[in-house]
Amino acid sequence: MSGPVGALESAVRAAVAAVDDPEYPGVSIIDLGLLEQIEVSGERVEVGLIPTFSGCPALTMIADEVRASVGAVDGVEEVEVTWLAGPVWSVERVSGRACDRLAADFTVAVHLGPPPACPLCGGLTSELSAFGPSRCRSVHRCTSCGEVVEALRG
Amino acid sequence: MTITDPGVSEYLLCFADDEHLMGQQHTEWIGVAPFLEEDLAFASIGQDELGHAAALYALLVGDDDRAIDDLALRRDAADYRSCHLVEVDTGDWVQALVRHWLYDAAESLRWQVFADSAVTGLAGTAARAQREEVFHRRHADALLDALLSVPESASRLDTAFRHLLPVALGIFEPVEGETVALEAGVASESIAGLRPAWQELVVARFGPVDWHSITPPDQAGRRLRSADFAVRYARMREVNDLDPAAVW
């Protein structure tokens, strides 16, 4: 990207990236795959996000934080944040960097294909319950070290 | 896109109100479900249903949170269009689970009719919701399987099923605006047209049913609230009634 529009779009993207998931401080919502589109038109910016699940209770908080963060970018006068009807979020959208942080900071595995590996020892986990503490997480136990592991699921 | 046709609005309002009331009822199990994981899982599933309701309400009044809350919480009781299944008090957890199963089996079918909807955004919302319903139905099935393995629970489950099945038929009562919605390409099938597929699912899960002996509730085209609605209505408006200016 080049020119003023490209530069502004990069700055907006960085501002969105500065917003962390409320449940996982330190993990950017971009790394979790929530950002779908940025449209810059003059000084007006539209940010299109997708939720992990319809029932995510953090949607308003995330949208407010994106609005504030992008609104503070030089050259942005107006920000519209929209939760898009599609595409459907899936764990494939989670970046490798986010997978690493989730494992290191929260003992959370990303459930790309069963069974997820234990974030502590790398051992195999077995599912204790598909129905974890929030809609996007299931509960597993490591068959090697015994750690109880939450998995971010699609 | 905000829908302006009154018939289409009335039609979608029925589904939105079902989702809202069902979500409200599921979330009431937080803190009191029989075990911790279930407590959280049921409430999380309820949040999905509330998310579906919010997405449908947004089609009717736009994305503004305040406008959605006005429609969801600040209407007269007589203006709700929920079916009676989502309004009734389920006395115990077994009843709540059976209702969850019966409702979600129908809900999965209901989202399918929007796959090619003429309403912008509805097909996308439906695709997400249907994927979530796979998970909801897995939850309902897993817990029913667990209950069936204990004789006392299985017997209570059977009682709950017999009690709730007639009420569940109210889901399929034709609703106002449906003809307009079908003609406009909002949906591809009538609500009554989904009943045979639902009945097949019910029979596969609970065994043979003599459908002719079961009478649906009198809902007067969903214009009649059931006796238990008043309790739901008061509970879901509790915060709003304490502080109408509250923001959450």
Give the residue on A whose Cα is nearest the Cα of B23: A55
Spatial separation of the C-alpha atoms in residues B169 and B215, rounded to whole Å: 8
| Residue appearing with tokens 């509970």 | B235
Residue B42, CA distances (Å) to A133, A152, B137 in order: 10, 18, 12
Give the mean pLDDT of chain A.
90
Contacts of B129 in chain A (CB under 8 A): 54
DSSP E strands, B44-159: none
- Closest Cα of chain B to A42: distance in Å? 24
**Taking CB atoms and an 8 Å cut-off, how many pairs form between chains A and B?**
77
| Residue appearing with tokens 């889901």 | B171
pLDDT of residue B1: 63
- Closest Cα of chain B to A1: distance in Å? 30
- pLDDT at residue A1 is higher than 60: no
Q: Which residues of A touch B (CB under 8 A)?
A: 51, 53-57, 59-60, 82, 84-89, 129-135, 139
pLDDT of residue B64: 87
pLDDT of residue B57: 97
Residues with Cβ < 8 Å from A14, sequence gap 6 or more? none
- pLDDT at residue A136 is higher than 50: yes
- Exposure string of A115-138, with b = 16+ CB inside 10 Å and e = fewer, is bbbbbbeeeebebebbbbbbbbbb
Name the residue among A85, A129, A135 with its Cβ closest to that of B121: A85
Per-residue confidence band for A134, with pLDDT thresholds at 50, 70 and 90: confident
Name the residue among B37, B54, B131 with its Cβ closest to that of A129: B37
- The H-assigned helical ranges of chain B are 6-27, 36-61, 65-73, 93-112, 122-148, 151-168, 178-183, 195-206, 229-236, 238-242
Contacts of A55 in chain B (CB under 8 A): 23, 44-51, 132
**Domains of chain B in sequence order:** 6-242 (1.20.1260.10)
Spatial separation of the C-alpha atoms in residues B184 and B8, rounded to whole Å: 8
Contacts of B51 in chain A (CB under 8 A): 51, 53-56, 59
- Closest Cα of chain B to A54: distance in Å? 5
Best B40, B45, B63 member to test A by mutation, with max A CBs in 10 Å, is: B40
Give the residue on B whose Cα is nearest the Cα of A128: B37
- pLDDT at residue A61 is higher than 80: yes
Query: For each of chain B's 248 residues, which pLDDT tens digit applies?
Result: 678 899 999 999 999 999 999 999 999 998 888 888 888 889 989 999 999 999 999 999 998 888 999 999 999 999 999 999 999 999 789 999 999 999 999 999 999 999 999 998 899 999 999 999 999 999 999 999 999 999 999 999 999 999 999 999 999 999 989 999 999 999 999 999 999 999 999 999 999 999 999 999 999 999 999 999 999 999 999 988 999 887 76
What's the ipTM? 0.78
- The answer to whether the CB of A51 falls within 8 A of the CB of A66 is no
DSSP characters for B4-23? --HHHHHHHHHHHHHHHHHH
pLDDT of residue B248: 66
- The answer to whether the CB of B96 falls within 8 A of the CB of B78 is no
Please give the average per-residue pLDDT across A79-86, as a whole number.
92
Best A37, A46, A54, A60 member to test B by mutation, with max B CBs in 10 Å, is: A54
The residue length of chain B stands at 248
Give the residue on B whose Cα is nearest the Cα of A80: B63
Best B27, B37, B52, B136 member to test A by mutation, with max A CBs in 10 Å, is: B37
Spatial separation of the C-alpha atoms in residues A48 and A83, rounded to whole Å: 6
**Domains of chain A in sequence order:** 3-83 (3.30.300.130), 91-152 (no CATH)
